[in-house]
Every structure is written in structure tokens, then in C-alpha cells.
Amino acid sequence: MSALLTVEDLRVEFDTYGGVVQAVRGVSFNVEAGRTLAIVGESGCGKSVTVQSMMGLIPMPPGRITSGSAKLDGAEILGRTRIDGTSIRGAQIGMIFQDPMTSLNPTMTIGAQIAETLQVHRGHSRQQALARAVELLAMTRIPEAEKRAAQYPFEFSGGMLQRSMIAMAIACEPAILIADEPSTALDVTIQAQILDLLRDLQRENGMSIILITHDLGVVARMADQVAVMYAGQIVENGAVDEVFYESAHPYTLGLNDAMPTNNPDAEQVLTPIDGSPPDLFDPPKGCAYGARCPHTMRICGPNNPGAFDLSPSHYARCWLHHPDAERRVDGITYREAAS
């Protein structure tokens, strides 16, 4: 299957008073049609900036996309809002955000906000668009959709607002839905409902999802592919089983140990990762994880590791996978030397 979206060597920086922040430093990934890619990593590692640059949402200035490409069905979309006469934002790619409470216009009815997407991209009349908005609300399982469409955001609960956001984002049947921590601001049961809804919608209309989250439980439940980000780079990328059960990067292992599991039989000791991510004003020359990695080697300081393939769908950016690396670390999965 060829990729629907291909991102290559994306680099984004921001001018700030403290200097230039290198928020995203050469990120590449693919999204397959109808599949879900999860992007995980700790706060500030560049997850939001990565997806926002595809949506043209990076404020410029202070932001700057210094290199890279993002191709949707082969057409370059980076830094553009339209491809060949069709718009990207809202039409080809829909997006939902972390905080549904503040992400909707407080003085516009829910129905009108959903309808707006259709008026803008499909040239629907207001009446037509509003009628479709009611259908979309019903699709996201909001009861009494007709009545609800005429209400304002403050009359909705957080979960319902996020459903409305989803209705808005999928109104034009986008090929990709980007969900930036869609359930973080909601309580646990509502979280589960929102995730189920996303999965069901995906099954019905075959869209791809890019899901950003901190929560490995959410990843296990939703994702086909996982990209683990650290300090503006993807340090491990693979199918969900590969990344979880054949983790190849010390950071991924650390993340796993720091997360509680749902398995009550597991005798698990939670181990936080010591230290903090590197300064993105002046990122280290070598491996960004070096300062926190328990397995640092001499080569790690001065040299940034490239991507080492473990399988056609799985790679890790870590010197431990170099053929000349002497140590074998427990827990790290190595490519069995077949070649």
C-alpha cells in the first residue's frame, strides 16, 4: 500500500526572546490510507508543531519552516492552503484540538460552526449546510441533533463539544483527520467514548487519523503505526506491536516503564525517566537522549545516530543498533543479523 501522506525531513523553528527554538528537527513519517498513526512523546517534544505545520497553522513570524516536504497523494502541501484549486485545510485534512471548551466560537451556534466548513469548501447555501450539520451531529451521536444544532457552545458539555468538533472536522470528508490530544481534557469515560467514536467513523468513511497523545494506553487502543518523538525528532517508528513489544530505543523503553498498564496481573514497577529533555535553543550535537540514557556510549555524545532499520516498517535512531556496538542491552530488541 502506498502512503497517503508522506512527510520528509520537516524542520521548524521559532524566533523567541531567548533565541531560536528548534522545535522540529528533521521529522519524516508516512500515513497510510485508512490507518491511524499515533505520535507520542513528552510535553514540548514538537508533536503539535509537526502537525500544525501541515495545517498551515504555524504562526509566521515567529515560526519558520526551514526545510522539508509533506505530500498528500503526491501533491506538496507544506506551507500552502490549496492544492490545484482545492483547499487543504478543512477539506483534505480536518483537525480537532485538545481543549474543546475553548476551541469553539462562543458567540456562534454549534450548527452554524459546522455549517461554515461546508459553506466555505462546498459552496453550500446556509440552509443546505445547516441541514447537513444536523446530520453530522447525529453521526457523532449527539442526541436531539436538530435542537442541539441551534445551541451555543456554553450549553454543551466537554464531551459533546468534542463530538461537535469532530463533526466539524469531518464535514467535508477529509482524507486525514488530525487529533491533537483529543481526549486529554475530558474525564476518563468520556475519553473512551470519543476514541470509540473516532474509530467507528474511521471504519465507516475510511479516513486516516494522526493521533497525538501522551497516553500509551490510547495508542494501544487506537493506533496501527506509532512514531515516538523526542526533542524534535522521531526516535522510533514502527507498527504498534513492534514499538510496544519489540522496542528498539532506550527512550521508548523508558516511556513504557513510566506508564501504568491495565493488566492487573503484571507486577509492574513504575520508573520515571530521570532528568529533563535537552534545551532546544542549542540541541546537543550527538544523540538528544544522551544525557538521560542509561546506555550512553562514547560515540553518542559527538554523533547523532541515524535511523537503523529493524524491519521494513520499523526503525530506531540509536547507536546500539550499529553493527559495531559492543553491548547488547536487556529489553532492547535487535535486528537478528539475517543479512
Partner 1 sequence: MGRYALKRLVQGAITVWFIATATFFAMHMVPGDPLASDKAVSEKIRANLEAKYGLDKPLLTQYGIYMGNLARGDFGISFTQENRRVNDIIREHFPVSATLGILAVVFAALGGILWGALTALNRNRMPDIVIMLLVILGISVPSFVFAALGQLTLVNINNLLGFSLLPVAGWGTVAHMLIPSLVLGLGTMAYLTRLMRSSMLEIMNSDFVRTARSKGVPAPRIFTHHQLRNAILPVITVLGPSIAVITTGGFVVEIVFAIPGLGRYFVQAVQQSDYTVIMGTTVFYGAFLVLMVIIVDLVYGLIDPRVRLE
Ligand X SMILES: Nc1ncnc2c1ncn2[C@@H]1O[C@H](COP(=O)(O)OP(=O)(O)OP(=O)(O)O)[C@@H](O)[C@H]1O
Of these partners, partner 1, ligand X, Mg ion, none, which one is at the site of residue 195 (CB under 5 to 8 Å by kind)?
none
If the CB atoms of residues 142 and 320 are measured against ligand SF4, the closer one turns out to be 320
If the CB atoms of residues 100 and 254 are measured against partner 1, the closer one turns out to be 100
Of these partners, partner 1, ligand SF4, ligand X, none, which one is at the site of residue 66 (CB under 5 to 8 Å by kind)?
none
Cβ 120 to partner 1 shortest distance, Å: 5
Q: Residue 101 class from Cβ within 10 Å (0-12 exposed, 13-18 middle, 19+ buried)?
A: middle
Backbone angles phi, psi at 17, to 5 degrees: -65, -30
Of these partners, ligand SF4, partner 1, ligand X, none, which one is at the site of residue 293 (CB under 5 to 8 Å by kind)?
ligand SF4
User: Under rule CB under 8 A, which residues in 94-113 are in contact with partner 1?
Assistant: 94-95, 97, 99, 102-108
Part in contact with partner 1 (CB under 8 A); list of ranges 13-21, 62-70, 85-93, 256-264: 85-93
User: Residues binding ligand SF4: what is the number (CB under 6 A)?
Assistant: 13
Part in contact with Mg ion (CB under 5 A); list of ranges 40-48, 80-88, 136-144, 283-291: 40-48
Asked if residue 57 binds partner 1 (CB under 8 A), the reply is yes
Asked if residue 87 binds partner 1 (CB under 8 A), the reply is yes
Strand-pairing partners, residue 239, are 225
- Provide the pairing of β-strand 225-230 with 63-72: unpaired
Q: Residue 29 class from Cβ within 10 Å (0-12 exposed, 13-18 middle, 19+ buried)?
A: buried
Asked if residue 29 binds ligand X (CB under 6 A), the reply is no
> Which amino acid, one-letter code, is at 239?
A
User: Under rule CB under 8 A, which residues in 158-197 are in contact with partner 1?
Assistant: 165, 168-169
Using CA atoms, how far residue 28 sits from 228, 236, 281, 290, 315, in Å, is 12, 11, 21, 21, 12
Part in contact with ligand X (CB under 6 A); list of ranges 13-21, 134-142, 162-170, 250-258: 13-21
Cβ–Cβ < 8 Å for 7, 178: no
Of these partners, ligand SF4, ligand X, partner 1, none, which one is at the site of residue 62 (CB under 5 to 8 Å by kind)?
ligand X
The pattern of x and - marking residues 273 through 292 that bind ligand SF4 according to CB under 6 A reads --------------x-xx--
The pattern of x and - marking residues 82 through 121 that bind ligand SF4 according to CB under 6 A reads ----------------------------------------
Binding ligand X by CB under 6 A: which of 5, 7, 10, 21?
A: 21
Of these partners, ligand X, partner 1, Mg ion, none, which one is at the site of residue 103 (CB under 5 to 8 Å by kind)?
partner 1
Which residues of this protein are in contact with ligand X, per CB under 6 A?
Answer: 14, 16, 21, 23, 41, 43-49, 59, 62-63, 280
Q: Which residues are at the interface with partner 1 (CB under 8 A)? A: 55-57, 81, 87-91, 94-95, 97, 99, 102-108, 116-117, 120-121, 152, 154-155, 165, 168-169
Site of interaction with ligand SF4 (CB under 6 A): 250, 287, 289-290, 293, 295-297, 300, 305, 318-320
